[in-house]
Amino acid sequence: MADAAFIAAWEDLAASSAEPNIFSESWFLRPALEQFDAMERVRLFTLWDGDRLCGLMPLSTLPRYGRWPMPHIQNWLHHNAFLGTPLVRTGYAEYFWRELLAGLDADPGQGLFLHVNSLTIGSDVATALESLCENQRRRWALVQQTDRALLQHGMTPEAYYEQAVRSKKRKELRRQKSRLAEEGALTFTRDDSTTGLAEWIEEFLALEKRGWKGRNGSALASFTETRALFAEVLTGGAALGKVERLDLRLEGRPLAMLVNFHASPGSFSFKTAFDEDFARYSPGVLLQIENLDLLERSDLQWCDSCAAQGHPMIDSIWTGRRSIGRYSIAIGGSGRRTIFGAFLKTELARSATRKVLPVDASDSGDES
């Protein structure tokens, strides 16, 4: 798929990007394309300045937009990619969008407009897109916004926990932890090495599949492709020192497991699983309390929960919020822009009446 020189340039771009996005880094995106783009319909838009790679975003053309038969070009995402921000070298954001839009104006293919999914609202990359569209008098709109939990640096783990969780709840969690410890040896482990990684991956997949995700067919192990992706990205990321594994065990039995991906100055909480047989002890919450130690790392300023808006568990512990948006943008000539303008009116009216509902506790992936 790519030669060594391109991979090296890609890794250098990721290390110098205006906004980190592990889902677009080579060790994550390449395995994702191998698993979910068998027909090779995704193309990588790349921006170069001499021999330096300065921008990268996967693109695909989709025949429908929701229920409407509106072919459009969109940044490519899959069900386990929770941020769509392109990798853009610091200082190149405006240039990146200008070159991308110019290319799509000249050759839009079948696409009637560009849709960019899951950008961080207010980031340098998103702000550059908005400013460029305004300066070019190009029709655009933020058509959807969600706000998900974010852990922000600035307090000690202990102080953060005390201000985020009311005293009555903290007392209950202490009681649950004490009762759980009465069942046997309770251990917590944090590991950023590659030691025992293969076994840990299998334990995680089995734990997740035993729960509600396994019952409704959405566990990683429910599909060959997602199982392979999980194993490949943890293996590839761990080799680069980007993976942190946490688990809570009772007599060696995993009760809760968690994966963080680090990309300084940020981090992404990718996946978590817990043993439903011990739900009365809130093992997932107990593990997240340990995860607050991220606040002690000087190289990390924030951690994105990658959770749905209104997630009943993580929203009760992480008080910060990260706004994620979907943008629709005009491309091509006057004909396309006229069609897009009419369609955008409908989309904005729809967005004005649509509410993003909190996820039900049964769909949260953890206990409240």
pLDDT surpassing 60 at residue 367: no
pLDDT of amino acid 118: 98
Question: Per the structure block, which two tokens stand in for 308?
Answer: 């749905």
Share of the chain above pLDDT 90, in %: 92
**Per-residue pLDDT at 299 exceeds 80:** yes
For the chain, give the mean pLDDT. Answer: 95
At residue 272 the predicted structure's pLDDT band, cuts being 50, 70 and 90, is: very high
Q: What is the DSSP string of 189-232?
A: EEE-SSTTHHHHHHHHHHHHHHSHHHHTT-SGGGSHHHHHHHHH
Question: Token match 């980007």: residue?
Answer: 242
Q: Provide the pLDDT for residue 365.
A: 36
Superfamily of domain 4-146+322-363: Gcn5-related N-acetyltransferase (GNAT) (3.40.630.30)
Asked if the model's pLDDT at residue 368 lies above 50, the reply is: no
The CA distance from 119 to 130, in Å, is: 11
Assess whether pLDDT exceeds 80 at residue 13: yes
The two counts, helices (H) then strands (E), for the chain are 11, 12
- Check residue 356 and give its pLDDT: 45
Q: Is 224 exposed, middle or buried (0-12, 13-18, 19+ CB in 10 A)?
A: exposed
In the chain, where the domains are located: 4-146+322-363, 154-300
What is the pLDDT at residue 363? 30
Percent share of the chain, pLDDT over 70: 95
Q: Is the pLDDT of residue 304 over 90?
A: yes
Asked, as a colleague might, if the bond just before 58 is cis with ω within 30 of 0, I would say: no
Is 21's pLDDT higher than 70?
yes
The reply to whether 154-300 shares the fold of 4-146+322-363 is yes
Q: Please determine, looking at this structure, whether the domain spanning 154-300 carries the CATH number 3.10.20.30.
A: no
Over residues 106-140, the pLDDT tens digits come to: 999 999 999 999 999 999 999 999 999 999 999 99
